[in-house]
Each structure stands twice: as structure tokens, then as C-alpha cells.
Structure 1
């Protein structure tokens, strides 16, 4: 699975209320990002990015074939050598996470590190 990205610029201060809005149903796109809201920029125009899921192109999600799992095992060895770094999330665990699960995982790791 991959993603097509489409940028659009508008002659208006704001496009949406939040920097990132997910659209799980009813639209061809799945997310709109309005980047200037992430950095608190003020400008008379705004640019958004729409994300469209697609089958072709660079993979954006884990595809756990035997070859990919073996390749990830090499990364795991490298990660294990880093003593002052905590690796969490999709890339660090080579698995798909919904955002609520990523946040829960991060909080669990923080709690474990804080309390020893």
C-alpha cells in the first residue's frame, strides 16, 4: 500500500480548524495537513496536502515478507547497540500502528522508564 500526495494552495488565511484532519470515510483522500498551523505561520495564503491511498508506488506501510523481516532483524541488532536511545513506533517495531496505539505504546515506555 502506498500514498499519493496532492498539494493545493488557497488564497485564504485558513483551510481547516486543526493542522491535521483525518477523513476515514466518505472521501477519496484520508488526511489533510495544513502545515502552517504546525509552525504557527501567519500568511494570507495557505497550502494543504491531501493524502490518497493507492496500490502502486513506494510502500508506506510494513509488508512483512521473510526478506523484509530478515532485513529488519539487522536494524534490531543496530538498535540494541544504542544504550541511550529508546526506539518506539512504526519504524522501530516494523509494524502498523493506529495513532491511539502509538500514543499508548509511547506512554507505556515513558512510564516504564520513569519508574524503572
Structure 2
């Protein structure tokens, strides 16, 4: 579909980027999975918002997560850090 994992479309389309996951994982398959990202101010934020109250809430969740040995939390919201997509895939 596209030659690289992520293509950004600043102000040219309704969506801001397309991610094609097989480029991130090294898969070779004629089929593919795509994500189109659309900007919105409705719903949960896609990125952690670094504020004191959010850090305190994260610490509470972190303590609860530590009690779940068979559950894996990964990605931006799991660690309350910003990561590039390749870093998130690497964590998984």
C-alpha cells in the first residue's frame, strides 16, 4: 500500500497519517493492516498529558498493575511516556 510504515499527511487530507504495520514488524505478506488517524478533541487523548494530577493517577495504576503478574501493559499509556510507533512495536 505504501513504501514505509508511517506516512504523514499534514493538511492535505482529513486524516493526519496512515500506518501500515507490516513495515514495522518486517512481515512479508500481500495483505496488510492500515490505520488512518483522524484528529479530534473528543474522547481520550492519544498521548499522555504530563500534569501532576495525571502522574499521581499513573502511580496508582502502576501499583495496581504490579499486582497483575499475568497481564502485560505496553505502549504510551502503559508507561506514561511518549514513544514513537517503532518503539511501541518493539515493546510489544
Q: TM-score range by the shorter chain?
A: 0.5 to 0.7
- Gaps spanning 5+ residues in structure 2: where? 20-31
Q: Calculate the TM-score normalised by the size of structure 1.
A: 0.49
- Gaps spanning 5+ residues in structure 1: where? 1-16, 39-48, 107-116
Report the equivalent of 2:58: 72
Q: Calculate the TM-score normalised by the size of structure 2.
A: 0.59
In terms of fraction of residues, the more strand-rich structure is 1
CA distance in 1 between partners of 2:18 and 2:85 (Å): 15
1:82 to 62, 68, 76: 68
- Find the structure with the greater CA-based Rg: 1
CA distance in 1 between partners of 2:36 and 2:72 (Å): 31
Across the two proteins, how many residue pairs are aligned to each other?
Answer: 77
How far apart are 1:25 and its partner, in Å?
A: 4.4
Q: CA RMSD in A?
A: 3.0
